[in-house]
């Protein structure tokens, strides 16, 4: 039951079209699931077509590998929504592993007579693949908290990192000119593997959305390079789409953190954390109880809830949904303000809130929501800090000066659920907390929101 190469190429052509349609349909939540089906269909026909390739002589290992991969894949598809960032990082690692292994095998099949251009794309494939592999594993380890999350920085770090990368590129350049020195090939795998580790060492949790996007882009580009090596247009296109997607997300994330793109490209993350340790004198704040907070919320017409990573850590999203229901029932207009870098990966907050059954049309992007804050009665900040810090707008000495923020300080009343007065992840003091209109609600996010909900259910009634 073998089919001709032309037939396989035509199948790949259809698969390519389905892949592009898959991403096109992802533009809106109403058509997005159709996009997944298109992607699945494209994948299915491409794999089926490949299995009919006439060059394949032994199916035993193929079947074992496909079954084994599915067994590994199913639990990775069923992880809890809060674990999605580390799952994503892990899948970047798997993708990069596949590309690196194939590149390595292709090199040794062709060696020692590898034409220079072929050697060039092979080198790009394995360098990008192996640095993405260890980089993504490190990122996944930090997100899963198996590795210390604190960024580790030292003097001259960028010089060391760039030196290591330059070493790998140098060896690759030498191999392009002298491909018969096959003993050098392991270096263009080993050195980038080391670089991947070094690259992630200075990364802190707040930088993760940018880093995951960047690794996504690298994984895509390495797959595209593999497409060049194998002369597979399907793979080139899929890799280019993935690379473009990761690139757009990285640019979005770096804009949302007010970092230049070159800053992102050269991996100079984690510097803000190191720079920030300023004034931390005890200033007076106003605090309130759950009962008072419930009364203020009940009197409001327009409420905006601003969730951050703290909400995910406290697993408070389901309690937040109960609060949303209680307020909506009373006729209060409730929206959620989503900062692009809230959480640990792009879109993280949206997924968590959607999981808690909050309608997606209530989740509003920063740019769209900011003009509405002056007309907002109450803002409730849950587990977010730096993305609400007005110093980013007003204080040029602040390390986050210039970063776009949610203008929550323009609302009439601001309530902030926070464990204590310790500064946020980046170690930056937040002047928002000392405003006259701000009430601090001290406690665990889940318990505090739960207490507010109980006030509504019990004491409030219809008055």
Partner 1 sequence: MKGDLLTSLYVFMLAAFIGFEVIRRVSPLLHTPLMSLTNALDAIAVVGAIILAGEGKSRLATVLGTIAIVAATSNIVGGFLITDRMLKMFKSSKSPKP
Residues forming the active site: 386
57: CB partners within 8 A, 6+ apart:
none
Do strands 333-338 and 302-307 pair parallel, antiparallel, or not at all (unpaired)? parallel
User: Quick check: 87 binds partner 1 (CB under 8 A)?
Assistant: yes
Judged by CB, which is closer to partner 1: 22, or 382?
Answer: 22
Contact with partner 1 (CB under 8 A): which of 3, 9, 53, 260?
53
Binding segment toward partner 1, per CB under 8 A, in 27-35, 164-172, 300-308, 403-411 = 27-35
User: Quick check: 98 binds partner 1 (CB under 8 A)?
Assistant: yes
Q: What are phi and psi of 306, to 5 degrees?
A: -110, 105
Contact with partner 1 (CB under 8 A): which of 135, 171, 242, 415?
242
Scanning 78-207, the segments in alpha helix (DSSP H) are 84-110, 116-143, 157-177, 187-200
User: Quick check: 322 binds partner 1 (CB under 8 A)?
Assistant: no
- DSSP code of residue 287: B
User: Quick check: 246 binds partner 1 (CB under 8 A)?
Assistant: yes
Q: Report, in Å, the least distance between residue 315 CB and partner 1.
A: 16
Q: Report, in Å, the least distance between residue 153 CB and partner 1.
A: 27
- Angle between helical axes of 445-455 and 290-298 (0-180°, round to 10): 60
Q: Report, in Å, the least distance between residue 356 CB and partner 1.
A: 9
Binding segment toward partner 1, per CB under 8 A, in 38-46, 162-170, 282-290, 380-388 = 38-46
Cα(104)–Cα(126) distance, integer angstroms: 7
User: Quick check: 280 binds partner 1 (CB under 8 A)?
Assistant: no
Binding segment toward partner 1, per CB under 8 A, in 153-161, 228-236, 264-272, 399-407 = 228-236
Contact with partner 1 (CB under 8 A): which of 2, 4, 7, 69?
69
Q: Report, in Å, the least distance between residue 248 CB and partner 1.
A: 5
User: Quick check: 58 binds partner 1 (CB under 8 A)?
Assistant: yes
For residue 81, give Cα distances in angstroms to 147, 286, 342: 20, 35, 15
User: Quick check: 345 binds partner 1 (CB under 8 A)?
Assistant: yes
Spatial strand order in the sheet of 378-382: 363-365, 333-338, 302-307, 378-382, 413-418, 438-442
Cα(129)–Cα(196) distance, integer angstroms: 10
Contact with partner 1 (CB under 8 A): which of 13, 73, 180, 375?
73
User: Quick check: 354 binds partner 1 (CB under 8 A)?
Assistant: yes
Binding segment toward partner 1, per CB under 8 A, in 247-255, 257-265, 288-296, 370-378 = 247-255
User: Quick check: 240 binds partner 1 (CB under 8 A)?
Assistant: yes
Tell me which residues in 182-221 interact with partner 1 (CB under 8 A). 212-213, 216, 219-220
User: Quick check: 115 binds partner 1 (CB under 8 A)?
Assistant: yes
Q: Report, in Å, the least distance between residue 180 CB and partner 1.
A: 18
Q: Please name which of 251, 209, 244, 189 lies closest in space to residue 89, comparing C-alpha atoms.
A: 209
* Residue 412 DSSP SS3: coil
Q: Report, in Å, the least distance between residue 72 CB and partner 1.
A: 4
232: CB partners within 8 A, 6+ apart:
12, 226
Binding segment toward partner 1, per CB under 8 A, in 30-38, 370-378, 398-406, 445-453 = 30-38
What is the dihedral angle through the alpha carbons of 35, 37, 42, 45, rounded to the nearest 10 degrees? -170
User: Quick check: 357 binds partner 1 (CB under 8 A)?
Assistant: yes
Q: Please name which of 302, 456, 460 lies closest in space to residue 380, comparing C-alpha atoms.
A: 302
Judged by CB, which is closer to partner 1: 360, or 434?
Answer: 360
Contact with partner 1 (CB under 8 A): which of 1, 6, 77, 113?
77
Tokens (6 digits) for 165 = 């990368």
Cα(432)–Cα(169) distance, integer angstroms: 47
Binding segment toward partner 1, per CB under 8 A, in 91-99, 139-147, 370-378, 404-412 = 91-99
Q: Report, in Å, the least distance between residue 339 CB and partner 1.
A: 10
Tell me which residues in 147-166 interact with partner 1 (CB under 8 A). none
Buried residues in 38-50 as b, exposed as e (16+ CB within 10 A): bbebbeeebeebb
Other beta carbons within 10 Å of 33: 11
Tokens (6 digits) for 36 = 């997944």
User: Quick check: 112 binds partner 1 (CB under 8 A)?
Assistant: no
Contact with partner 1 (CB under 8 A): which of 224, 342, 378, 415?
224
Tell me which residues in 6-25 interact with partner 1 (CB under 8 A). 12, 15, 19-20, 22-24
User: Quick check: 45 binds partner 1 (CB under 8 A)?
Assistant: no
Contact with partner 1 (CB under 8 A): which of 128, 211, 363, 381?
363
Other beta carbons within 10 Å of 306: 27
Other beta carbons within 10 Å of 141: 17
Tokens (6 digits) for 204 = 């802190």
H or E segment to which residue 32 belongs: helix 32-51
- Angle among Cα 81, 84, 237 to the nearest 5 degrees reads 130
């Amino acid at each position: 039951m073998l089919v001709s190469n032309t037939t396989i190429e035509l199948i790949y052509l259809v698969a390519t079209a389905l892949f592009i349609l898959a991403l096109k349909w992802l533009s809106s939540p109403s058509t997005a699931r159709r996009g997944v089906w298109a992607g699945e269909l494209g994948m299915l026909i491409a794999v089926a077509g490949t299995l009919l390739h006439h060059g394949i002589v032994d199916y035993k290992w193929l079947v074992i590998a496909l079954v084994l991969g599915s067994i590994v894949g199913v639990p990775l598809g069923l992880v809890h929504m809060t674990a999605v960032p580390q799952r994503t990082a892990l899948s970047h690692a798997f993708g990069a592993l596949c590309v690196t292994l194939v590149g390595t095998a292709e090199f040794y099949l062709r060696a020692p007579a590898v034409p220079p251009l072929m050697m060039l794309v092979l080198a790009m494939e394995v360098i990008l693949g192996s640095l993405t592999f260890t980089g993504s594993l490190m990122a996944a380890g930090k997100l899963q908290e198996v590795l210390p999350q604190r960024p580790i920085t030292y003097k001259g770090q960028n010089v060391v990192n760039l030196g290591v990368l330059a070493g790998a590129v140098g060896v690759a350049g030498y191999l392009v000119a002298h491909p018969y020195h096959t003993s050098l090939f392991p270096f263009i795998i080993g050195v980038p593997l080391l670089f991947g580790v070094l690259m992630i060492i200075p990364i802190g949790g707040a930088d993760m959305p940018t880093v995951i996007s960047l690794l996504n882009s690298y994984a895509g580009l390495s797959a595209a390079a593999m497409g060049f090596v194998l002369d597979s247009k399907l793979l080139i296109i899929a890799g280019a789409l993935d690379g473009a997607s990761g690139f757009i997300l990285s640019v979005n994330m770096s804009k949302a953190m007010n970092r230049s793109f070159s800053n992102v490209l050269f991996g100079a993350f984690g510097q803000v954390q190191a720079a920030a340790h300023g004034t931390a004198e005890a200033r007076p704040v106003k605090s309130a109880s759950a009962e008072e907070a419930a009364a203020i919320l009940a009197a409001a017409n327009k409420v905006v809830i601003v969730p951050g990573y703290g909400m995910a850590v406290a697993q408070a999203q389901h309690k937040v949904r109960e609060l949303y229901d209680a307020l909506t029932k009373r006729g209060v207009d409730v929206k959620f303000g989503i900062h692009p870098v809230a959480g640990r990966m792009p879109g993280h907050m949206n997924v968590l809130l959607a999981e808690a059954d909050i309608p997606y049309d209530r989740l509003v992007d920063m740019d769209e929501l900011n003009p509405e804050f002056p007309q907002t009665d109450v803002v409730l900040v849950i587990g977010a800090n730096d993305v609400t810090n007005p110093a980013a707008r007003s204080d040029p000495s602040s390390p986050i000066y210039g970063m776009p923020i949610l203008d929550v300080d323009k609302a009439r009343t601001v309530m902030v659920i926070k464990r204590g007065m310790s500064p946020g992840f980046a170690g930056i003091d937040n002047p928002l907390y000392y405003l006259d209109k701000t009430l601090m609600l001290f406690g665990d996010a889940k318990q505090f929101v739960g207490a507010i909900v109980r006030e509504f259910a019990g004491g409030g009634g219809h008055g």
